[in-house]
Structures are given as C-alpha cells and as structure tokens.
Amino acid sequence: MRNLFVTTVALSSVVLTLADGKGKGKGKNNDRIRTIYKDVVIIGGGASGSYSAVRLREDYNVSVVVIEKNSNLGGHVNTFIDPATGRGFDCGVQNWIELGGARAFFERFGVEMQPNVRSTFETVSVDFTNGQQLTNYSPPSAADRTAALQRYVAVAESFLPILEPGWWTFPQPQDIPPDLLLPFQDFVSKHNLTAAVPTFHATTGFGIHDMLGHLSVWFMRSFNVNLARVLLGAETSIVPISRKNQDLYDRILTSLGPDALTSTTVTSTEERSSRKGVTLIVRNSLTGIRTKIVAKRLLYTPIPSEANTSPLDLDREEKSTLSQFDYSASYVGVVSHPSLPLNKSLVNTPISAQPANWPEAIPQYPYNTRFENYANSSYFRIIAVGDQTFTAAQAKKVIEDSFDKLVEGGVVNRTSPPERLTFHKFEPHGLVSAYVGKEKLEGGFIQRLNGLQGRRGTWYTGASWGVHLSTSLWIFTDTVLERLVADLWG
C-alpha cells in the first residue's frame, strides 16, 4: 500500500494560495489553491480528534492535519475566564476519570493535575416549570444510593467485554444480551437501581434527554462502570491544578501549529478511497481561504449528522448507516444574577418527585437542569437539554424562562427594576449522545457501523462510536489508531 503514495510522502505543504473567488466568476475548481499533503486528515479537534493528532504525530510518526470548525480545540470543554480575576469556570467538561495513560497525556503538555474536589453545596430542589420549591422531598439516603451504585457496577461489569473499548466485539443481533435492549427504566426496576436514579441523572443522564426511556446500552455509554466507581470512591477523577480545563487543548493547539486548521470545515470531497486516498477541499470561515488536503487516510471524529457529513460525498451504505442515528442536544453556560443564592445549587426537580418518587425526579425535556453556584463566586453553571430539534435560541429562552419561574415562585427575590440574567458564556454543544432504537440494533446496526471502519480510506472515532467520557474515549481511540496505522502502512 505504501508505494502508492511515494510521490506524496516527502512533501509537506506548498503551492499557491487564492482566496474565495469573489468577483472571479465561476470555475473555482480550476483555481489553483494551496495543497497540503499529509498521511492522515482528522476532522474535528475535540477530545478524540486532538488526542489522535498528538498520538499519530508524536507516537506513530504519522503526519496529520486537523480540520476544526471552532476557533479553538477541545470540543465540549468550555472554560469561561473571569476578565476581572483571571479565574477559570468550566461549564462543559468538568473532570476526567484517571484511566490508562490519561494523566501522562496531560503532563506531556505540562498540565499538572490534581484529584477533583467535589462541591459540597446545599442542593435546593425546585420545579423550574412553576418555581415551587420541593419542601417535602427526600432524596435517597447515602447508604441506599451507594448500594444501588454497587449493584449497577456488578451488572454493568458483565457487559464490559462487549461494550468497551468500542463496539469491536459487540455480538450479532440474535446474541445481544436482553438487558441491553431494555428501556433503562425497566433495567432500573429489574436490578433495584431506583435509589441511584437522581445521581444517574445529575451526573450524565441529563445529556440523554430521555434517560429512563433510552435503551440501557445507550445509558451505559454515558455512565459507564468507571464513572460509577468514581462516585463510589473506588477510582479517581482529575482536574488541572490551574482549574482551567481548556489548558490542555490550548497547548495541543500551540504544539500542532500549522497542523491544526481552526475555524475550518470541509466544503467538498474530490476523492475518498482506500486505493487513492482522500482529497478534501476545506474552507476557513474567517478568511474565506480554501485549501486542498491530500491525505492517505481520513479519521472522522464529530457527530455524524447530516450537516457534518454532507460534504464528504457519502455513498449509499455510509448514508443509510449514519443517518440512522438520532441525537439529543445540549447547551451549557455561565450566568449571574444578583438574586441567585450563593453556595447553593438549585436543581430542577418536578414536584411529582415528592415525597420520594425518585424516577419522577427527571424533568420533561426541553429543560434547564440547574443553576449551580461556583464556589466563592457569583457565577452559576446552567445546562439546557432537549431533543435533536432543540436550538440555541430555544435553549436560551428555556433558561431565561426557568429563572422567571424561580422569581414567580419566590425562590429568588424580585429585583426592582426587574433585571435579566447575564450570560457570561453560552456554548452550543448542539447534537450529542447518538443513539438508535431496539429494532435497528436487532437489524444489525452495530455490525453495519463497524463495517464502515476503514472503508473508503475512512476511520471513525468520537462519542458516537464509544463511551461519551473523554478518557474512556481516548482508550477506544487507541484501538482505532492501531488499526488505522496498520492500514496506512499495510
């Protein structure tokens, strides 16, 4: 395979640059544009794309270029920096489970880590649809919650060999363990996990807009055994000593230099095959400048939505497989308001959860999950979630409406004149948590998804292919990189 590419190996970049042909008329295809030659083009510079770029370049001696839509790397990591104090407030990714080589990966970039310190704020349960505080609600006792989490670990562990890392060994449809195909609420009843439901929801379950209705297999992809063990104190999660989660990705961006093209997306595909490699046209949204990327292989990492995949010239098999995914949508941010109570976390909890009806403790989507104070500050974290039609504008309105209800219900004071919430940061994660229904799994969906790996010179990693937790995803990504590199030099 290698000899097919001998002509491109030594070249690194070069040729002419022309901006988007404003006033140049048609025939853009004939414009000569800058061409970059690399072994691997990586689409998406979030958790898995940034990690892949570093490992391929530094550990495999494979040349890469990263195509990232945003102006920075890191995806769901969103750090708000207080302009007055320089202190960081993370509203996206909170911490990383210390797995495999995770700590060493941070330290490679000089990001010193420490164990995560969990906030001990008082939780106030309020129904955000009417602003009523739940005065007669008892959350599960710590002992019951622990026992339920232990039961979860015991059951979920038995599925690890077919769920992690990734889908490689997932059974044929007729052999899928029935537990994995149960709606999660039935799995909860079957295994007596009710006392862990509020914890499941508050930790990652909110990101799956219908946690209890989802199949257990998808729940296990957002709340895995490692996460349960962290909550039980049996494993550790870590954060940078700087308390700025973005640090890692900013340093990766610096280290990649010209090998990361930020504010850039693919506009069209000229070639994508195992034999001839991958030729993409990409465009920088700030400058309008287009660049041609000629690579041997493509590593695709974002959510495989219609919008993200349409410039990739999907064939019938790719399109009919990837289009089966449905998603949730999530929006995170940092807000403040003089009436929001310090040292408290206001958690959206339906009134029907009283007195101890824990499966009812999950609001109807779309909703704002919480107003959670950051220690020693007047900033609050918000997270709004909904189904895949939930837009950024709707999310902002849901958050503002939820605050108005708190005022109406008397949980927070009315200011005079009425003052609106201040948004210091608002990050549209957009689509998250890919899933398909039972019929599709029973129709061989996972086998078809696996079948795309390596096909047409294209490999896949990212949350739609693995566990939605960064360090578990890095372990899965390692298994993809091994195969990709074997394919590259095979």
Ligand X SMILES: *[C@@H]1O[C@H](CO)[C@@H](O)[C@H](O)[C@H]1NC(C)=O
Ligand Y SMILES: Cc1cc2nc3c(=O)[nH]c(=O)nc-3n(C[C@H](O)[C@H](O)[C@H](O)COP(=O)(O)OP(=O)(O)OC[C@H]3O[C@@H](n4cnc5c(N)ncnc54)[C@H](O)[C@@H]3O)c2cc1C
- The site for ligand X, by CB under 6 A, has a size of 15
Question: Among residues 147 and 392, whose Cβ is nearest to ligand X?
Answer: 147
Please state the φ and ψ torsions of residue 356, each to the nearest 5 degrees: -155, 45
DSSP labels, 146-170: HHHHHHHHHHHHTTHHHHTTSSTTP
Should residue 469 be labelled a site residue for ligand Y when binding is judged by CB under 6 A?
Answer: yes
Is 459 in a helix, a strand, or coil?
strand
Output the smallest distance, CB 63 to ligand X, in A.
7
Nearest-angstrom CA–CA distance, 484 and 45: 18
DSSP state at residue 314: -
Output the smallest distance, CB 242 to ligand Y, in A.
16
Choose, by CB under 6 A, the member of 66, 153, 195, 211 that binds ligand X: 195
Stretch touching ligand X by CB under 6 A, among 15-23, 144-152, 347-355, 383-391: 144-152
Burial 264-292, CB ≥16 within 10 A → b, else e? bbbebbeebebeebbbbbbbbeeeebbbb
Should residue 375 be labelled a site residue for ligand X when binding is judged by CB under 6 A?
Answer: yes
**At a CB cut-off of 8 Å and minimum separation 6, what does 323 contact?**
306
| Binding map of ligand X across residues 61-90, x = CB under 6 A, - = no contact | x-----------------------------
CA quadruple 316, 321, 326, 331: dihedral sign: negative
Output the smallest distance, CB 290 to ligand Y, in A.
14
Should residue 468 be labelled a site residue for ligand Y when binding is judged by CB under 6 A?
Answer: yes
Should residue 186 be labelled a site residue for ligand X when binding is judged by CB under 6 A?
Answer: no
Nearest-angstrom CA–CA distance, 272 and 297: 8
Choose, by CB under 6 A, the member of 29, 364, 376, 416 that binds ligand X: 376
Question: Among residues 408 and 482, whose Cβ is nearest to ligand Y?
Answer: 482
Rounded (5°) CA angle 265-271-272? 85
Question: Among residues 71 and 415, whose Cβ is nearest to ligand X?
Answer: 415
DSSP labels, 349-416: --GGGTTT-GGGGSPPSSEE-EEEEPTTSS-EEEEEEEETT--HHHHHHHHHHHHHHHHHTTSSPPPS
Stretch touching ligand Y by CB under 6 A, among 98-106, 128-136, 403-411, 465-473: 465-473
Should residue 301 be labelled a site residue for ligand Y when binding is judged by CB under 6 A?
Answer: yes
341 binds, among ligand X, ligand Y, none (CB under 5 to 8 A by kind): ligand X
Is 136 in a helix, a strand, or coil?
coil
Choose, by CB under 6 A, the member of 33, 37, 42, 48 that binds ligand Y: 48
Q: Which of residues 229-288 bind ligand X (CB under 6 A)?
A: none
Q: Which of residues 302-331 bind ligand Y (CB under 6 A)?
A: 302, 308, 330
Q: Which of residues 69-88 bind ligand Y (CB under 6 A)?
A: 69-70, 75-76
Output the smallest distance, CB 90 to ligand X, in A.
12
Which class for 133: exposed (0-12), middle (13-18), buried (19 or more C-beta within 10 A)?
A: middle
Contact 167, 434 (CB under 8 A): no
Contact 130, 351 (CB under 8 A): yes
* Alpha helices (runs of H) in 40-183, residue ranges in sequence order: 47-54, 102-108, 142-157, 160-163
| Binding map of ligand X across residues 323-352, x = CB under 6 A, - = no contact | ----------------x-xxx---------
State the residue for tokens 């979920």.
Answer: 156
302 binds, among ligand X, ligand Y, none (CB under 5 to 8 A by kind): ligand Y
Should residue 432 be labelled a site residue for ligand Y when binding is judged by CB under 6 A?
Answer: yes
Should residue 43 be labelled a site residue for ligand Y when binding is judged by CB under 6 A?
Answer: yes
Nearest-angstrom CA–CA distance, 368 and 60: 43
Should residue 463 be labelled a site residue for ligand Y when binding is judged by CB under 6 A?
Answer: yes
Should residue 46 be labelled a site residue for ligand Y when binding is judged by CB under 6 A?
Answer: yes
DSSP labels, 194-214: GGGHHHHHHHTGGGSTTTTTS
Choose, by CB under 6 A, the member of 71, 158, 192, 254 that binds ligand X: 192
Should residue 366 be labelled a site residue for ligand Y when binding is judged by CB under 6 A?
Answer: no
**Angle between helix 247-256 and 47-54 (nearest 10):** 40
Should residue 33 be labelled a site residue for ligand Y when binding is judged by CB under 6 A?
Answer: no
Should residue 57 be labelled a site residue for ligand Y when binding is judged by CB under 6 A?
Answer: no
Stretch touching ligand X by CB under 6 A, among 71-79, 103-111, 140-148, 307-315: 140-148
Contacting residues toward ligand Y, per CB under 6 A: 43-49, 67-70, 75-76, 92-96, 207, 265, 301-302, 308, 330, 332, 383, 429, 432, 462-463, 468-471, 473
Q: Where along the sequence are the contacts to ligand X (CB under 6 A)? A: 9, 61, 144, 147-148, 192, 195, 339, 341-343, 375-376, 412-413
